[in-house]
Chains A and B, each alone.
Chain A
Amino acid sequence: MAQLSYLPHTEADVQAMLEHVGVNRLEDLFSDVPARFLHKGAYALPDALSEQEIRDYFASLEAMNARLKVFVGQGAYDHYTPSVIPYLCSRSEFLTAYTPYQCEISQGTLRYIFEYQSMLCALTGLDVSNASLYDGPTAAAEAMRMAIACTRKKTRVLLSATLLPHVIKVVQTYAKFYGVEIGLVQADGGQTSLEALKAELAKDDVAGVIVPSVNRYGIIEDLTGFADAVHAQKAILIEYCDPSALAVVKTPAEWGADVAVGDGQSLGLPLSYGGPYVGFMTVKKEHMRKMPGRIVGQTVDKDGRRVFVLTLQAREQHIKREKATSNICSNESLMALWVTIYLSLMGPEGLKEVNRISTDGAHYLKAELLKTGKFEDVFPDKPFLKEFVLKPKQFPGLMQKKLEEAGFFAALDTEEGYVSFCVTEKRSKEEIDRLVTIVKEG
């Protein structure tokens, strides 16, 4: 068996400590546990591995995964991660700290969260951000509960049918147990229907409405008239956003939304098979005290220096227990740092350029794919950025298989029978041309 280097105890240490405690053996420390619960014999685990053996084993697991060029988004986007980010995020002062309860020795964490909050407010145009949530879908679920809390006596929350499928599913799960009825607002031509929304709102029981900024088809939604319709019924408008795209599309504030939520993954986080990502939420000031999660604020210390603290804690579970705005305790702090560094590096121009290259690449890919004659353009007149869907004229299974064999993850099946594509700035023209050739030959 391999040694375990994480335990500094020598036999003499153990003996000395046992003596001090007043027991003879380590087992005696569990004398309060009924004997029948003490585990007997070895656990059904493998033998301990050395560091080299762990390395080799993980290499073998890694090799079982496909290594493909990613041409799919649907809530997880393969944007480039600058080297600076993992380098800084792996600094152990950030990595091995806990939630910043002791602010005097946590100013690093508190400051970057304050910067994160500032940047998310800049992107969404709204007033107040929390310190992050688990991921985009759970942020939407928290917003659903917040809508109920903000509008007493109302029992229903509406979701646009054009939201990403995983967002709808998670919100539905939370709603089922929290006792909230969910209604779906149907789409018309790939865009949430304002008429359908108004019809649902007329029932007068709606607390909130969640609509996407850029939707599951990649289409930039036109939310003209949405805020007025929702506010006329004293409900709140929640916009689900891809924060990267907010550099170029109308912001939640510009649309008149009360709450913005989404997943920060598109801000340079690795795909990592779905996590960790980072959910964000920003709100108008009047909803601040109904917000879930931690919030960092600026104040001064005894010596008058600018310092940062966790604030508005009267909302939280460790104070309010069952009356808290949410059960959330930890956020996704390190991923918030990741996003903060990403946005620092990109700045306004870099983020716009990421959108420009991705959008140009996606439009090029779509045009080339349509030229193959193998697809139908389902939403020909709708504006889109990096993501789009097409309707394959034939069953796409064979094409998908050939693409995989050629090293591409592309043309993901959707619930509607379309295939979805996405292009980020990481995809070169050569890769796109090669992909199109495979489709053509297939």
Chain B
Amino acid sequence: MKYYDKLIFELSKEGRCGYSLPVNKFPAAPEVPLALRRESPLPLPQVAEPDVVRHYTNLSQMNFGVDTGFYPLGSCTMKYNPKINEEMAALPGFAGLHPLMHAGLTKGALKVYQEMNKALSAITGMYTFTFDPCAGAHGELTGLMIMRTYHLQRGDYGRTKVIVPDSAHGTNPASAAVCGLEVVEVKSLENGRIDVEALKPLLDNTVAGIMMTNPNTLGLFETQIEEIAALVHGVGGLLYYDGANMNALMGVVRPGDMGFDIMHLNLHKTFSTPHGGGGPGSGPVGVAKHLEDCIPDLRVSGFHGNFAVILRAYAYILSLGKDHLQKVGQYAVLGANYIKECLKDKYILPIEGVCKHEFVFDGLINDGAREGVPGATTLDVAKRLLDYGFHAPTIYFPLLFHQALMIEPTETESKETLDAFIEVMRKIADEAAEDPNILHEAPHNTPISRPDETTAARNPILKYQDTL
């Protein structure tokens, strides 16, 4: 990776042209009336095509992707993104479909939705899916709307609360708030699972439901799920499954069989579609049979969701088939346990035992702290990893541990890659013990060094025009 300093605006020169448009053969239409016409200048760059290509190629070379190297970002499931899927999503017969074409013109697209619905239902044990949500958090919001619709349709108007574990993804409580629900937090036990005794007094007829991730964000299976389901259902509440961690259970356990009524999937995690630097994703929501009627009135996105993402995920499912599905969950879990076992003598493992697709360390066992030199933190470890050519794990999440370092390897990484990562993690731990300053000052080998984030927030410069 090399540092490149330009912004596209800085390549601009009056009169340069990067477009190729047909000659206008139409008679001139009337001008836009003066009162409705844009008067201010339009400060877009004026650049030629080669400038554009070189500029964005240079930008891309300051980026790290799954194709660049190992990306053990916990809860994000950075698995390999198959290339055939990209080609299939770009086929002109799909890319050229207008979203308002009637069913008679879009039979192929509708067949994709039907078959995806069947496949996802089979994989998850849900009854049917809606594909409108564009991302995981969007799926959560849609799922909670379904939850509320279910209660309202039954004339049950008093259910205003949703229970969320303290280990939950930040989107869970945020989605609940956007859906007009009050968030009630339930604590976790020392062993990282939901405290069922703490849950019991929270349950009454004001509870719309509970949102759970299973395995949870510590990568631990919620072993008391059966009891939790019975308790929540017992007071008339519903169980929502946050599918962010579904990769652990692919081909092994189905959320529907564990008693979940509503769930979302992140096609950009579990189903291999590329994250694109933060989207586009797709967050289809599945429901059990008794909630089927709660979906139809919900219009949560413009048209039919992120169709081109759904196409990619479908190509992936066809490549897995029933034959390979189980390997996804098994290998994802194997890789996580392997890394955990190989590093737990160097990093604090707060909860022993078998994990699922990810696990959390709570910082270094020996952070090297000494007189006048603070110990190396999780942030330091993360930054040092960048020097060695790995993406960092998710850090400071979940909030249960102060030095959380959340590692998720996925099933598409070889033993050699995992071994190389383990070796580097051990080396970093040794460096910390010896001289934590090496870590404090990391990264050393990246295109830029640590940024001044405080100034960025205090004096925001949010567009090129602000710099002039």
Contact = CB atoms under 8 A, between A and B. Distances in A.
B63 A106 contact: yes
Given A324-B177, A337-B277, A343-B44, A93 B100 contact: no
B344 to A, nearest CB: 11
B88 to A, nearest CB: 5
21 contacts: A6-B79, A7-B331, A21-B354, A37-B257, A68-B101, A84-B53, A91-B60, A93-B65, A95-B65, A96-B67, A97-B65, A99-B275, A115-B7, A129-B463, A295-B460, A299-B452, A306-B5, A309-B453, A331-B278, A409-B101, A412-B100
How many chain A residues sit at the interface, stated as a range, is 35 or more
Contacts of A322: 173-174, 176-177, 183
B306 A276 contact: yes
Contacts of B81: 92, 95-96
Contacts of A96: 65-68, 81, 274-275
B65 A9 contact: no
Interface stretch (A192-200, A250-258, A371-379): A250-258
Interface in B246-289: 251-254, 257-258, 268, 272, 274-281
B259 to A, nearest CB: 9
A112 B37 contact: no
Interface in A142-173: 145, 166-167, 169-170, 172-173
A115 to B, nearest CB: 5
A49 B319 contact: yes
Interface string B42-80: 111111010011011101111111111001010010111
A48 B322 contact: yes
A131 B412 CA distance: 30
A431 B322 CA distance: 47
A63 to B, nearest CB: 7
Contacts of A305: 3, 5, 448-449
Given A47-B323, A324-B177, A333-B279, A84 B137 contact: no
A334 interface: yes
B86 interface: yes
Contact of B461 (A106, A177, A254, A298): A298
A139 to B, nearest CB: 10
Contacts of B225: 34, 37
Given A59-B91, A332-B134, 16 more contacts: A21-B337, A55-B84, A61-B108, A93-B64, A118-B463, A138-B302, A254-B40, A271-B96, A275-B308, A302-B449, A305-B5, A327-B171, A330-B137, A334-B277, A341-B52, A347-B19
Contact of B134 (A31, A54, A135, A294): A135
Interface residues of B, number: 199
B319 A64 contact: no
B361 interface: no
Given A135-B302, A138-B301, A102 B45 contact: no
Nearest to B6: A111
Contact of A301 (B104, B257, B320, B451): B451
Contacts of B412: 6-8
B254 A88 contact: no
Contact of A294 (B178, B278, B452): B278
